[in-house]
């Protein structure tokens, strides 16, 4: 299926918003777009393709789903040389309900874990994912396949200095909650009504010391069996699920922020 006209390295981007951002980016080299629908949102993408001289090919939805390995493509797919990362400033510029909770990954190196985390984060209402520039897995075609379409909805930002970026999140009014097997508080004892950024550490070493010190709260997921730790993707999913469980009972009531103060956390 026209493979000869694609670069040797690259990936499919799917979803209206990711495709739009990729087409607007000057750093990416799209080679073709496929679509299975025609409406005003897709017409905008077709116009962008025309302005950049990018070939467009109609396809049926089943062909797109088979090509991408998932059905969450919103009827469009673009082949590009790299994944269109978002800017952290853009994520934080959105209204509060559209920018939190966030998931911050500290040196997650297993692509399977990254893909699984993206899928869980998207399913459980995270509004963005933050990765450090170094010592981490990046978004590849294999990661996107494990994520099963989550990249179509979940903005992913890469930052040069993760510790400094955690400070930026704090300045934006967010509380940094680190998941740590040595955390002083059980996850289920921490009120998560405040804007939250969950930090998940490396699969083997956990959070780096500087990252740990930037956290407002260090929480642990209590163990009830013989294993003493969880897969990073599972830990992230449990933390987000607990946050949403708590908010389910409070989202219809207006109350002041009830999280502990940073002074109380030392």
State the total domains in the chain: 2
Same domain, 122 and 192: yes
Same domain, residue pair 63 and 185: no
Q: Which residues contact 49 (CB under 8 A, 6 or more apart)?
A: 23, 30, 33, 55, 56
Say yes or no: 76 and 157 in one domain.
no
Length of the chain measured in residues = 266
pTM, 2 dp: 0.76
Q: Are residues 104 and 72 in the same domain?
A: no
Same domain, 124 and 254: yes
Q: Pick from 80, 106, 128: which residue ends a domain? A: 80
> Rounded to 5 degrees, what angle do the CA atoms 177, 254, 174 make?
25
- From 49, 80, 111, the end of a domain falls on 80
Q: What is the CATH number of the domain that holds 193?
A: 3.40.1280.10
Among 32, 57, 80, the domain boundary falls at 80
pLDDT in tens, 84-118: 888 999 999 999 889 999 999 999 989 999 999 99
Q: In terms of domains, do 73 and 109 share one? A: no
Query: Residue 252 belongs to what domain range?
Result: 88-265
Return the pLDDT at 260: 57
100 shares its domain with 202: yes
Q: What is the pLDDT of residues 139-171, one digit of tens each?
A: 887 787 788 778 778 999 999 999 999 999 999
Q: Are residues 45 and 110 in the same domain?
A: no
- Do 127 and 172 share a structural domain? yes
49 and 170 housed in the same domain: no
94 and 218, same structural domain? yes
What CATH number has the domain bearing residue 14? 3.30.1330.30
Predicted local confidence at residue 240, as pLDDT: 97
Give Rg (Cα) of the chain: 20
Contacting residues for 65 by C-beta, under 8 A, at least 6 apart: 71, 73
């Amino acid at each position: 299926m026209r493979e000869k006209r694609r670069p040797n390295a690259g990936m499919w981007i799917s979803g209206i918003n990711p495709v739009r951002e990729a087409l607007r980016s000057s750093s990416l080299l799209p080679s073709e777009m496929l679509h299975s629908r025609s409406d005003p949102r897709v017409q905008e993408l077709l116009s962008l393709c025309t302005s950049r001289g990018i070939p467009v090919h109609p396809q049926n939805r089943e062909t797109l789903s088979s090509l991408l390995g998932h059905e969450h493509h919103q009827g469009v797919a673009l082949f590009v040389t790299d994944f269109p990362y978002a800017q952290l400033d853009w994520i934080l510029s959105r209204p509060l309900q559209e920018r939190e909770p966030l998931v911050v990954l500290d040196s997650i190196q297993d692509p399977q874990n990254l893909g699984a985390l993206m899928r869980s984060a998207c399913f459980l209402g995270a509004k963005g994912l933050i990765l450090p520039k170094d010592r981490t897995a990046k978004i590849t075609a294999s990661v996107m396949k494990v994520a099963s379409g989550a990249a179509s909805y979940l903005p992913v930002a890469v930052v040069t200095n993760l510790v400094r970026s955690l400070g930026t999140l704090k300045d934006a009014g967010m509380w940094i909650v680190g998941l740590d097997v040595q955390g002083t508080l059980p996850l289920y004892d921490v009120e998560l009504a405040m804007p939250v950024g969950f930090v998940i550490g490396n699969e083997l070493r956990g959070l780096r010391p500087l990252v740990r010190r930037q956290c407002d709260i260090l929480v642990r997921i209590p163990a009830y069996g013989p294993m003493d730790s969880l897969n990073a993707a599972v830990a992230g999913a449990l933390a987000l699920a607990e946050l949403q469980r708590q908010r389910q009972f409070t989202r219809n009531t207006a109350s002041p922020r009830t999280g502990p103060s940073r002074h109380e956390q030392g």
